Structure 1
Amino acid sequence: MSALFQNYARRPVHLIQGKGTIVTDDTGKDYLDFTSGIAVLSLGHAHPAIVQAIQQQSEKLWHTSNLFESPEQEQLAASLVKGTHLARGFFCNSGAEANEAAIKLARKHTGKHVIITFEKSFHGRTFGAMSATGQEKVRQGFGPLLDTFRTIPFNDVDQLEALIDDGVAAIMLEVIQGEGGVNKVSPEFAQAIAAICDSKDILLIIDEVQTGIGRTGTRYAYEQTALKPDILTLAKGLGGGFPIGAMLGTSALHDSFGPGTHGSTFGGNPLAVAVAQTVINNVFTSEFLIAVNEKSTYFMGKLKTALPAYEIVGSGLLLGIVCPDEVAPYIAQAEQAGLLLVAAGPNVIRLLPPLTVTTEEIDQAVNVLSSILI
Structure 2
Amino acid sequence: MTTTETNKRDWVALEHKYYQGTFKRQPLTLVRGEGTRVWDSDGKVYLDFVAGIAVNVLGHCHPAIVQAVQHQVTQLVHVSNLYYNIRQIELAELLGQQSNGMRSFFSNSGAEANEGAIKLARKFGRVHHNGAYEIISMERSFHGRTLATTAATGQASYQATWVPIPDGFKQVPYNDLEALKAATSEKTIGVLLEAVQGEGGIWPGDKEFIQGVRQWCDEQNLVMICDEVQTGMGRTGKFFGWEHYEVVPDIVTMAKGLAGGVPIGAMLTGPRTDLFVPGDHGTTFGGNPIASAAGIATIQTIVDEDLLENAARMGAYWHTKLEAFCEKYHFIDSPRGLGLMQAVNVKHEL
Q: TM-score, normalised by structure 1?
A: 0.84
Q: Which residue of 2 aligns with 1:196?
A: 216
Of 35, 55, 60 in structure 1, the residue corresponding to residue 75 of structure 2 is 60
Output the CA distance in 2 between the equivalents of 1:198 and 1:101: 21
- Does the CA-based 8 Å contact 1:313-1:322 persist in structure 2? no
Tell me which amino acid in the other structure corresponds to 2:74: E
Output the CA distance in 2 between the equivalents of 1:206 and 1:271: 26
- Does the CA-based 8 Å contact 1:41-1:240 persist in structure 2? yes
Q: Which residue of 2 aligns with 1:317?
A: 340
Tell me which amino acid in the other structure corresponds to 1:237: G
Matched ranges for 1:30-179 at <5 A: 30-111=45-126, 112-179=132-199
* Structure 2, unaligned runs of 5 or more: 1-15, 127-131
Deviation string 1:77-119 (CA, Å, 9 cap, x unpaired) is 1111215334210000000000000000010122121100011
* Greater Cα shift, 56-65 or 313-322: 313-322
Shift of 1:215: 0.9
Deviation string 1:178-220 (CA, Å, 9 cap, x unpaired) is 0011111112211221110111110000000011001111000
Shift of 1:41: 0.4
Output the CA distance in 2 between the equivalents of 1:124 and 1:177: 13
Tell me which amino acid in the other structure corresponds to 2:114: N
Alignment RMSD (CA, Å)? 1.6
With CA pairs under 8 Å and 6+ residues apart, which has the higher RCO, 1 or 2?
Answer: 1
* Structure 1, unaligned runs of 5 or more: 327-372
Q: Which residue of 1 aligns with 2:10?
A: none
- Does the CA-based 8 Å contact 1:86-1:248 persist in structure 2? no
Output the CA distance in 2 between the equivalents of 1:272 and 1:98: 15
Shift of 1:55: 0.6
Q: Which residue of 2 aligns with 1:251?
A: 271
Does the alignment pair 1:261 with 2:276?
Answer: no
Shift of 1:135: 0.6
SS at match of 1:284: helix
Shift of 1:286: 7.6
Sequence identity of aligned pairs in percent?
43
Output the CA distance in 1 between the equivalents of 2:271 and 2:89: 15
- Does the CA-based 8 Å contact 2:79-2:85 persist in structure 1? no
Aligned length: 326
Shift of 1:140: 1.4
Tell me which amino acid in the other structure corresponds to 1:314: G
Output the CA distance in 2 between the equivalents of 1:86 and 1:148: 30
Tell me which amino acid in the other structure corresponds to 1:267: G
Q: Which residue of 2 aligns with 1:187?
A: 207
Matched ranges for 1:283-302 at <5 A: 283-285=302-304, 287-302=306-321
